[in-house]
Amino acid sequence: MSFRVSAATLRASPFRTFLSTLGIVIGVASLVAVLSLGDGMQQFVRRQVSETTDLQAIGVNPQTSRTVDGVSVPLDSVVQLGAADAMALAAELGPGAVAGAALPLTALAESPRGARAVRVVGTMANLFESFGIEVAAGRAFANADTAAQVILISPAATRALARAGTRALQPGDTVVLNHVPFTLIGVTRRAADDTNLVAVVPIGATRALVPPRATWTPSLTVHAERVEDVPRFRAGVERWLSRRFGPTWKERVTVANRANRVAQVQQGMLLFKLFMGAITGISLIVGGIGVMNVLLSAVAERTREIGVRRAVGAARRDILVQFLAEAVTISVIGSVAGIALGLVGSYGITALIRAHSQAQMYAGVSLSTVVLAVSATVLVGIASGLYPALRASRLSPIDALRYE
């Protein structure tokens, strides 16, 4: 009933309603635009951190020596970590972390043009995204192909290893590394620097490429989906190693990540969130002050109406609920219009950013942003309308009827 009365009252004074709603529209539009731009900026920064840095990576490396009296002494027994260990570690860490085994090395590729040095990356399929490996032609190998003699090579390698004057190597051809034949199953996507001869093979296949007197020492790599989760996953890695190798595991394995840089990024993201929260709070306060001012004016203009309603039996509670209902109605209407305006503004701003810079930044729109905008607006509307509503409900009927 109160909302029907408030709707009729708002329709009876369209200009006053427009002024009341305008403040909320501007406040909500600012809120939605700031939240969308903030989400988009955060997604862009996270993508840049993931693609261009190793801040989200945790390395588990077997130790091959120890220092005694300042002298490095080789260990008699070196820990060997493989695909099975990576899968066990991934199960220990749970969602949000990818674990795999990896071993970088150099091999000689036999070619009609002579021996060519090739940088080999032995890895597992679930680390492709972490290492930036994408397949442009053919197919990738799977985690199940841990020991299969299959290979992916870079576009530069397909040309360098082919016979002069003939076509580049293609999936199905054979590539020989350190006298071991591998079947070419895919070509990686062309990189910005397409001059390196790079080969990617399953981690188990690297055993055949290691010289006879050398030790096969793959490391485990854990990649966290979010930089904030790196400290938690590192603690999980250390717990797993403690159970796997006992209390003296630090003498056999090292765990490394860029802890200082991770802390800096975390602090930067926290400051960014606090800054965005301060801006959105100011936007809401501006809208709320506008609603309060217009509702106070409405109380002054409708003093005689309030006196008539009180004289015919309306209770203070009825007056209070009516003005609060008007504030909520204005807030809801303003929030719907403000959301649309804010989304249009955020998409327009990000389009300008992409047009004038190399940053591929897009507005981030989520259901939580819309829910937060509507909820915050309604709360601000109630808070802003509470004082005018209380003031109206406390008017004496006699004084209100005498008001000119």
DSSP per-residue letters across 153-164: E-HHHHHHTSPT
User: What is the mean pLDDT of the segment spanning 310-328?
Assistant: 71
The pair of structure tokens assigned to 297 is: 């004016």
φ, ψ (nearest 5 deg) of residue 263: -60, -40
In tens, the pLDDT along 189-218 reads: 876 456 678 899 999 999 889 888 778 889
**Residue 173: C-alpha distances to residues 168, 170, 330 (Å):** 10, 6, 70
Tell me the CA distances in angstroms from 365 to 44, 73, 168, one per residue in order. Answer: 13, 57, 45
Give the pairing type, strands 253-256 and 150-153.
Answer: unpaired
Q: Is the pTM for the entire model greater than 0.85?
A: no
SS3 63: coil
Q: Which two tokens stand for residue 378?
A: 């309604």
Q: What is the pLDDT of residues 256-302, one digit of tens each?
A: 888 777 777 777 777 877 787 777 777 667 666 766 666 666 666 66
| In contact, 199 and 131? CB cutoff 8 Å | no
Which whole number is the average pLDDT over 156-165? 79
Q: What is the pLDDT averaged over residues 226-245?
A: 89
